Chain A
Amino acid sequence: MEIVIDIEDPVPLFSQLIAQIKQAIINKQILPGDALPSIRQLANDLDVNNKTIAKAYRLLERDSVIQAKGYRGSFIHPDAVANCTVNLNELTIEKLSNVINELQQIGVTDSEIRVAFGNLMNNRK
Protein backbone atom coordinates (compact mmCIF):
# COMPACT_ATOMS: atom_id res chain seq x y z
CA MET A 1 0.00 0.00 0.00
CA GLU A 2 1.21 3.50 -0.83
CA ILE A 3 0.62 6.73 1.07
CA VAL A 4 0.38 9.86 -1.05
CA ILE A 5 0.39 13.32 0.48
CA ASP A 6 0.00 16.65 -1.28
CA ILE A 7 2.01 19.41 0.34
CA GLU A 8 -0.01 22.11 -1.47
CA ASP A 9 -3.35 20.71 -0.28
CA PRO A 10 -5.07 22.98 2.31
CA VAL A 11 -5.88 19.86 4.37
CA PRO A 12 -3.11 19.46 6.99
CA LEU A 13 -0.60 16.72 6.26
CA PHE A 14 -1.44 14.73 9.40
CA SER A 15 -5.16 14.78 8.43
CA GLN A 16 -4.32 13.49 4.92
CA LEU A 17 -2.34 10.71 6.51
CA ILE A 18 -5.10 9.79 8.99
CA ALA A 19 -7.75 9.76 6.25
CA GLN A 20 -5.66 7.49 4.01
CA ILE A 21 -4.80 5.04 6.80
CA LYS A 22 -8.47 4.81 7.84
CA GLN A 23 -9.54 4.34 4.22
CA ALA A 24 -6.97 1.58 3.75
CA ILE A 25 -8.31 -0.18 6.85
CA ILE A 26 -11.91 0.09 5.62
CA ASN A 27 -10.83 -1.20 2.17
CA LYS A 28 -8.97 -4.05 3.89
CA GLN A 29 -5.67 -3.02 2.30
CA ILE A 30 -4.22 -3.20 5.80
CA LEU A 31 -5.59 -5.62 8.38
CA PRO A 32 -5.87 -5.63 12.18
CA GLY A 33 -2.55 -6.73 13.65
CA ASP A 34 -0.48 -5.43 10.71
CA ALA A 35 2.64 -3.50 11.67
CA LEU A 36 2.98 0.18 10.78
CA PRO A 37 6.17 1.76 9.52
CA SER A 38 8.14 3.61 12.17
CA ILE A 39 7.66 7.37 12.56
CA ARG A 40 11.22 8.03 11.41
CA GLN A 41 10.87 5.81 8.33
CA LEU A 42 7.61 7.36 7.15
CA ALA A 43 8.79 10.90 7.89
CA ASN A 44 11.99 10.37 5.90
CA ASP A 45 10.21 8.69 3.00
CA LEU A 46 7.61 11.45 2.76
CA ASP A 47 10.22 14.12 3.50
CA VAL A 48 8.13 15.63 6.30
CA ASN A 49 8.82 16.42 9.94
CA ASN A 50 8.77 13.51 12.42
CA LYS A 51 6.26 15.49 14.51
CA THR A 52 3.69 15.40 11.67
CA ILE A 53 3.73 11.58 11.55
CA ALA A 54 3.84 11.36 15.36
CA LYS A 55 0.74 13.56 15.56
CA ALA A 56 -1.14 11.42 13.03
CA TYR A 57 -0.18 8.23 14.91
CA ARG A 58 -1.15 9.81 18.27
CA LEU A 59 -4.60 10.75 16.96
CA LEU A 60 -5.09 7.30 15.41
CA GLU A 61 -4.11 5.75 18.73
CA ARG A 62 -6.58 8.00 20.56
CA ASP A 63 -9.31 6.78 18.18
CA SER A 64 -8.22 3.15 18.83
CA VAL A 65 -7.41 2.67 15.17
CA ILE A 66 -3.82 1.76 15.96
CA GLN A 67 -2.10 0.61 19.12
CA ALA A 68 1.47 1.18 20.25
CA LYS A 69 3.28 -1.83 21.66
CA GLY A 70 6.34 -0.19 23.20
CA TYR A 71 9.63 -0.88 21.44
CA ARG A 72 7.93 -3.31 19.03
CA GLY A 73 6.27 -0.40 17.26
CA SER A 74 2.69 0.41 16.29
CA PHE A 75 0.09 -2.03 14.97
CA ILE A 76 -3.42 -1.84 13.57
CA HIS A 77 -5.93 -2.16 16.44
CA PRO A 78 -8.04 -5.37 16.49
CA ASP A 79 -11.23 -3.20 16.43
CA ALA A 80 -9.81 -0.76 13.88
CA VAL A 81 -12.47 -1.41 11.21
CA ALA A 82 -15.32 -0.49 13.59
CA ASN A 83 -13.40 2.41 15.12
CA CYS A 84 -12.56 3.90 11.72
CA THR A 85 -16.21 4.58 11.06
CA VAL A 86 -16.58 6.66 14.24
CA ASN A 87 -15.91 10.26 13.39
CA LEU A 88 -14.93 12.04 16.59
CA ASN A 89 -15.11 15.45 14.93
CA GLU A 90 -18.72 14.93 13.95
CA LEU A 91 -19.52 13.51 17.38
CA THR A 92 -17.99 16.58 19.10
CA ILE A 93 -19.93 18.98 16.88
CA GLU A 94 -23.16 17.11 17.49
CA LYS A 95 -22.76 17.07 21.32
CA LEU A 96 -21.70 20.73 21.48
CA SER A 97 -24.63 21.77 19.27
CA ASN A 98 -27.04 20.05 21.65
CA VAL A 99 -25.55 21.84 24.67
CA ILE A 100 -25.58 25.23 22.87
CA ASN A 101 -29.23 24.72 21.90
CA GLU A 102 -30.16 23.93 25.52
CA LEU A 103 -28.30 27.01 26.79
CA GLN A 104 -29.93 29.28 24.18
CA GLN A 105 -33.35 27.95 25.13
CA ILE A 106 -32.89 29.09 28.73
CA GLY A 107 -31.75 32.54 27.53
CA VAL A 108 -27.95 32.42 27.65
CA THR A 109 -26.47 34.74 24.97
CA ASP A 110 -23.89 33.65 22.33
CA SER A 111 -21.16 35.82 23.83
CA GLU A 112 -21.78 34.37 27.31
CA ILE A 113 -21.47 30.87 25.86
CA ARG A 114 -18.22 31.81 24.07
CA VAL A 115 -16.69 33.37 27.22
CA ALA A 116 -17.76 30.42 29.39
CA PHE A 117 -16.44 27.90 26.84
CA GLY A 118 -13.17 29.80 26.51
CA ASN A 119 -12.74 29.98 30.30
CA LEU A 120 -13.51 26.30 30.69
CA MET A 121 -10.99 25.29 28.02
CA ASN A 122 -8.31 27.61 29.39
CA ASN A 123 -8.71 26.33 32.95
CA ARG A 124 -8.56 22.67 31.96
CA LYS A 125 -5.38 20.82 32.78
Chain B
Amino acid sequence: MWNENLLYLIFLSQIIIISAYLPKMMLNQLNNVFTNSPPQHYQKLYPMPIEQIKQYSSRFLWMNITVTFVGLAILFHLVFSGNKEMLDWDTQSVITLYWMIQFIPYCYAVVKSKNYFSLMKKQSNETKRKAEFKPRRFFDFISPVLITFAGMLYLCFIGLVIYFVQNPFDGFAGYWNILFISLMNIFLSICIFGNFYRKKSNPHQTQENSNFKTKLTLHLLVLASIGGTLFISTAFVLSAFDLRHIIDIVHSFYFQILVVFSLHSYRLDKINFNVYKNETMA
Protein backbone atom coordinates (compact mmCIF):
# COMPACT_ATOMS: atom_id res chain seq x y z
CA MET B 1 0.00 0.00 0.00
CA TRP B 2 2.79 2.41 0.94
CA ASN B 3 4.46 2.06 -2.45
CA GLU B 4 1.14 2.80 -4.21
CA ASN B 5 0.78 5.98 -2.17
CA LEU B 6 4.39 6.85 -2.90
CA LEU B 7 3.74 6.34 -6.62
CA TYR B 8 0.70 8.67 -6.47
CA LEU B 9 2.79 11.25 -4.67
CA ILE B 10 5.80 11.02 -6.95
CA PHE B 11 3.63 11.14 -10.10
CA LEU B 12 1.79 14.16 -8.70
CA SER B 13 5.15 15.80 -8.10
CA GLN B 14 6.16 14.97 -11.73
CA ILE B 15 3.00 16.74 -12.93
CA ILE B 16 3.45 19.78 -10.70
CA ILE B 17 7.20 20.25 -11.09
CA ILE B 18 7.47 19.77 -14.86
CA SER B 19 4.17 21.21 -16.04
CA ALA B 20 3.36 23.83 -13.42
CA TYR B 21 6.30 24.96 -11.29
CA LEU B 22 9.05 25.15 -13.95
CA PRO B 23 6.87 26.83 -16.65
CA LYS B 24 5.71 29.34 -14.02
CA MET B 25 9.33 30.00 -13.02
CA MET B 26 10.34 30.49 -16.67
CA LEU B 27 7.44 32.86 -17.35
CA ASN B 28 8.20 34.86 -14.19
CA GLN B 29 11.78 35.29 -15.36
CA LEU B 30 10.52 36.40 -18.77
CA ASN B 31 8.17 38.94 -17.17
CA ASN B 32 11.07 40.27 -15.10
CA VAL B 33 13.03 40.76 -18.32
CA PHE B 34 10.08 42.67 -19.84
CA THR B 35 9.94 44.90 -16.75
CA ASN B 36 13.66 45.45 -16.24
CA SER B 37 14.63 45.69 -19.92
CA PRO B 38 11.72 47.38 -21.69
CA PRO B 39 11.68 47.53 -25.52
CA GLN B 40 12.04 51.33 -25.63
CA HIS B 41 15.46 51.09 -23.93
CA TYR B 42 16.59 47.65 -25.13
CA GLN B 43 15.64 47.58 -28.79
CA LYS B 44 18.18 44.91 -29.77
CA LEU B 45 16.56 42.48 -27.34
CA TYR B 46 13.23 42.58 -29.18
CA PRO B 47 13.53 41.55 -32.83
CA MET B 48 9.74 41.15 -32.83
CA PRO B 49 6.94 43.11 -31.10
CA ILE B 50 6.60 42.37 -27.39
CA GLU B 51 2.91 41.50 -27.93
CA GLN B 52 3.97 38.62 -30.16
CA ILE B 53 6.39 37.32 -27.51
CA LYS B 54 3.61 37.55 -24.91
CA GLN B 55 1.34 35.64 -27.27
CA TYR B 56 3.93 32.84 -27.55
CA SER B 57 4.44 32.73 -23.79
CA SER B 58 0.68 32.58 -23.21
CA ARG B 59 0.46 29.68 -25.70
CA PHE B 60 3.29 27.96 -23.76
CA LEU B 61 1.35 28.49 -20.52
CA TRP B 62 -1.89 27.06 -21.91
CA MET B 63 -0.11 24.03 -23.33
CA ASN B 64 1.31 23.35 -19.86
CA ILE B 65 -2.09 23.82 -18.20
CA THR B 66 -3.58 21.27 -20.62
CA VAL B 67 -0.74 18.80 -19.95
CA THR B 68 -1.23 19.31 -16.18
CA PHE B 69 -4.92 18.40 -16.47
CA VAL B 70 -4.09 15.35 -18.59
CA GLY B 71 -1.67 14.22 -15.86
CA LEU B 72 -4.21 14.83 -13.10
CA ALA B 73 -6.80 12.85 -15.07
CA ILE B 74 -4.36 9.91 -15.35
CA LEU B 75 -3.66 10.13 -11.62
CA PHE B 76 -7.37 10.31 -10.66
CA HIS B 77 -8.09 7.34 -12.91
CA LEU B 78 -5.35 5.36 -11.18
CA VAL B 79 -6.53 6.31 -7.68
CA PHE B 80 -10.27 5.81 -8.20
CA SER B 81 -10.33 2.91 -10.68
CA GLY B 82 -8.53 0.66 -8.20
CA ASN B 83 -6.28 -0.71 -10.96
CA LYS B 84 -2.68 -1.46 -10.17
CA GLU B 85 -1.44 -0.18 -13.52
CA MET B 86 -1.96 3.31 -14.93
CA LEU B 87 -4.70 3.56 -17.61
CA ASP B 88 -5.11 -0.25 -17.28
CA TRP B 89 -1.90 -0.49 -19.28
CA ASP B 90 1.69 -0.42 -18.02
CA THR B 91 2.65 2.20 -15.42
CA GLN B 92 6.26 2.56 -16.61
CA SER B 93 5.16 3.13 -20.22
CA VAL B 94 2.47 5.63 -19.14
CA ILE B 95 5.01 7.57 -17.04
CA THR B 96 7.46 7.70 -19.98
CA LEU B 97 4.74 8.64 -22.47
CA TYR B 98 3.38 11.33 -20.17
CA TRP B 99 6.91 12.69 -19.66
CA MET B 100 7.22 12.95 -23.45
CA ILE B 101 3.90 14.80 -23.59
CA GLN B 102 5.17 17.12 -20.86
CA PHE B 103 8.05 17.97 -23.17
CA ILE B 104 5.83 19.23 -26.01
CA PRO B 105 5.46 22.78 -24.58
CA TYR B 106 9.23 22.92 -23.97
CA CYS B 107 9.89 21.82 -27.57
CA TYR B 108 7.55 24.62 -28.66
CA ALA B 109 9.57 27.09 -26.55
CA VAL B 110 12.86 25.84 -28.03
CA VAL B 111 11.58 26.19 -31.62
CA LYS B 112 10.30 29.71 -30.90
CA SER B 113 13.55 30.76 -29.23
CA LYS B 114 15.54 29.44 -32.24
CA ASN B 115 13.34 31.55 -34.55
CA TYR B 116 13.78 34.48 -32.16
CA PHE B 117 17.57 34.33 -32.29
CA SER B 118 17.69 33.86 -36.06
CA LEU B 119 15.47 36.96 -36.39
CA MET B 120 17.79 38.80 -34.00
CA LYS B 121 20.76 37.78 -36.15
CA LYS B 122 19.01 38.95 -39.34
CA GLN B 123 18.16 42.32 -37.84
CA SER B 124 21.58 42.90 -36.36
CA ASN B 125 23.36 45.61 -38.35
CA GLU B 126 26.65 45.29 -36.51
CA THR B 127 29.50 44.85 -38.93
CA LYS B 128 32.11 44.16 -36.27
CA ARG B 129 32.60 40.68 -34.88
CA LYS B 130 34.66 39.87 -31.83
CA ALA B 131 36.31 36.71 -30.56
CA GLU B 132 38.62 35.80 -27.76
CA PHE B 133 42.08 34.93 -29.13
CA LYS B 134 42.67 32.14 -26.66
CA PRO B 135 42.36 28.40 -27.21
CA ARG B 136 39.35 26.87 -25.52
CA ARG B 137 40.35 23.79 -23.59
CA PHE B 138 37.72 21.18 -22.91
CA PHE B 139 38.72 20.85 -19.26
CA ASP B 140 38.38 24.62 -18.70
CA PHE B 141 34.67 24.01 -19.11
CA ILE B 142 34.19 20.79 -17.28
CA SER B 143 35.93 19.13 -14.38
CA PRO B 144 38.11 16.10 -15.29
CA VAL B 145 36.81 14.48 -12.09
CA LEU B 146 33.26 14.51 -13.46
CA ILE B 147 34.38 13.02 -16.80
CA THR B 148 36.41 10.34 -14.99
CA PHE B 149 33.41 9.57 -12.79
CA ALA B 150 31.16 9.20 -15.86
CA GLY B 151 33.75 6.90 -17.47
CA MET B 152 34.13 4.79 -14.33
CA LEU B 153 30.37 4.51 -13.99
CA TYR B 154 30.12 3.31 -17.58
CA LEU B 155 32.76 0.63 -16.88
CA CYS B 156 30.91 -0.40 -13.70
CA PHE B 157 27.72 -0.64 -15.75
CA ILE B 158 29.44 -2.99 -18.21
CA GLY B 159 30.60 -5.06 -15.22
CA LEU B 160 27.03 -5.13 -13.88
CA VAL B 161 25.64 -6.27 -17.24
CA ILE B 162 28.25 -9.04 -17.45
CA TYR B 163 27.29 -10.13 -13.91
CA PHE B 164 23.57 -10.20 -14.76
CA VAL B 165 24.27 -12.10 -18.00
CA GLN B 166 25.65 -14.86 -15.76
CA ASN B 167 22.89 -14.43 -13.14
CA PRO B 168 19.92 -13.22 -15.20
CA PHE B 169 16.48 -12.15 -13.95
CA ASP B 170 13.21 -12.25 -15.89
CA GLY B 171 13.10 -9.80 -18.79
CA PHE B 172 16.83 -8.97 -18.71
CA ALA B 173 17.94 -7.95 -22.22
CA GLY B 174 21.57 -9.08 -21.83
CA TYR B 175 24.33 -7.39 -23.80
CA TRP B 176 21.78 -5.20 -25.64
CA ASN B 177 21.88 -3.00 -22.54
CA ILE B 178 25.55 -2.20 -23.19
CA LEU B 179 24.69 -1.29 -26.78
CA PHE B 180 21.84 0.94 -25.61
CA ILE B 181 23.94 2.84 -23.04
CA SER B 182 26.89 3.06 -25.46
CA LEU B 183 24.61 4.59 -28.13
CA MET B 184 23.28 7.04 -25.55
CA ASN B 185 26.85 8.02 -24.60
CA ILE B 186 27.88 8.38 -28.26
CA PHE B 187 24.86 10.63 -28.85
CA LEU B 188 25.71 12.73 -25.76
CA SER B 189 29.37 12.95 -26.82
CA ILE B 190 28.30 14.26 -30.24
CA CYS B 191 26.11 16.85 -28.44
CA ILE B 192 29.06 17.81 -26.21
CA PHE B 193 31.35 18.22 -29.23
CA GLY B 194 28.69 20.24 -31.08
CA ASN B 195 28.14 22.53 -28.09
CA PHE B 196 31.85 23.01 -27.47
CA TYR B 197 32.36 24.27 -31.03
CA ARG B 198 28.94 25.81 -31.57
CA LYS B 199 28.42 29.11 -33.34
CA LYS B 200 26.92 31.91 -31.29
CA SER B 201 23.18 31.89 -31.96
CA ASN B 202 22.80 35.31 -30.38
CA PRO B 203 24.87 37.99 -32.17
CA HIS B 204 24.88 40.33 -29.13
CA GLN B 205 25.88 37.72 -26.54
CA THR B 206 29.08 38.50 -24.61
CA GLN B 207 31.91 35.98 -24.61
CA GLU B 208 31.44 35.58 -20.86
CA ASN B 209 27.76 34.66 -21.27
CA SER B 210 28.58 32.38 -24.15
CA ASN B 211 31.24 30.56 -22.09
CA PHE B 212 28.83 30.28 -19.17
CA LYS B 213 26.19 28.71 -21.42
CA THR B 214 28.70 26.25 -22.90
CA LYS B 215 29.92 25.29 -19.42
CA LEU B 216 26.37 24.71 -18.23
CA THR B 217 25.35 22.67 -21.26
CA LEU B 218 28.44 20.46 -21.07
CA HIS B 219 27.80 19.80 -17.37
CA LEU B 220 24.17 18.92 -18.06
CA LEU B 221 25.11 16.55 -20.88
CA VAL B 222 27.68 14.73 -18.72
CA LEU B 223 25.17 14.60 -15.84
CA ALA B 224 22.60 13.18 -18.27
CA SER B 225 25.05 10.39 -19.12
CA ILE B 226 25.70 9.72 -15.41
CA GLY B 227 21.96 9.88 -14.64
CA GLY B 228 21.05 7.52 -17.50
CA THR B 229 23.64 4.93 -16.47
CA LEU B 230 22.66 5.19 -12.79
CA PHE B 231 18.96 4.86 -13.62
CA ILE B 232 19.39 1.70 -15.72
CA SER B 233 21.74 0.19 -13.11
CA THR B 234 19.22 0.93 -10.34
CA ALA B 235 16.46 -0.67 -12.41
CA PHE B 236 18.61 -3.85 -12.82
CA VAL B 237 19.33 -4.10 -9.13
CA LEU B 238 15.67 -3.53 -8.18
CA SER B 239 14.56 -6.15 -10.73
CA ALA B 240 17.13 -8.64 -9.46
CA PHE B 241 15.87 -8.17 -5.89
CA ASP B 242 12.27 -8.52 -7.07
CA LEU B 243 11.45 -4.90 -6.24
CA ARG B 244 10.04 -4.06 -9.68
CA HIS B 245 7.12 -2.11 -8.18
CA ILE B 246 9.64 0.51 -6.97
CA ILE B 247 11.05 0.96 -10.51
CA ASP B 248 8.01 3.05 -11.52
CA ILE B 249 8.68 5.41 -8.62
CA VAL B 250 12.40 5.62 -9.48
CA HIS B 251 11.44 6.18 -13.13
CA SER B 252 9.21 9.16 -12.39
CA PHE B 253 11.73 10.54 -9.89
CA TYR B 254 14.55 10.24 -12.45
CA PHE B 255 12.57 12.21 -15.06
CA GLN B 256 11.91 14.98 -12.55
CA ILE B 257 15.55 15.23 -11.52
CA LEU B 258 16.59 15.36 -15.18
CA VAL B 259 14.21 18.22 -16.01
CA VAL B 260 14.83 20.17 -12.80
CA PHE B 261 18.60 20.00 -13.34
CA SER B 262 18.28 21.07 -16.97
CA LEU B 263 15.86 23.93 -16.54
CA HIS B 264 16.69 25.26 -13.11
CA SER B 265 20.27 26.02 -14.18
CA TYR B 266 19.19 28.30 -17.05
CA ARG B 267 18.72 31.53 -15.19
CA LEU B 268 18.00 34.71 -17.10
CA ASP B 269 19.24 36.86 -14.21
CA LYS B 270 22.81 35.76 -14.97
CA ILE B 271 22.68 37.26 -18.45
CA ASN B 272 24.31 40.60 -19.14
CA PHE B 273 21.47 42.64 -20.66
CA ASN B 274 23.59 45.77 -21.10
CA VAL B 275 24.64 44.52 -24.55
CA TYR B 276 21.05 45.00 -25.74
CA LYS B 277 20.82 48.61 -24.55
CA ASN B 278 20.20 51.31 -27.13
CA GLU B 279 23.45 52.91 -28.33
CA THR B 280 22.47 56.32 -26.97
CA MET B 281 21.91 54.85 -23.49
CA ALA B 282 24.90 52.48 -23.30
Contact = CB atoms under 8 A, between A and B. Distances in A.
A42 B127 contact: no
A24 B132 CA distance: 13
Interface string B122-160: 000001111111111000000000000000000000000
B197 interface: yes
Given A37-B136, A41-B136, A46 B131 contact: yes
Given A4-B129, A46-B129, A73-B135, 4 more contacts: A7-B127, A42-B133, A46-B130, A48-B129
A37 B136 CA distance: 7
Given A41-B197, A47-B200, A2 B135 contact: no
A76 to B, nearest CB: 11
Contacts of B198: 44
Interface residues of B, number: 16
A35 B135 contact: yes
B199 interface: yes
B127 A2 contact: no
Nearest to A13: B129
A contacts with B: majority SS: mixed
Interface of A: 1-9, 21, 24, 30, 35-38, 40-42, 44-48, 73
B199 A44 contact: yes
Contact of B131 (A35, A40, A42): A42
Contacts of A21: 133
Contacts of B129: 4-7, 46-48
Interface in B95-136: 127-136
A7 B203 CA distance: 14
B43 to A, nearest CB: 21
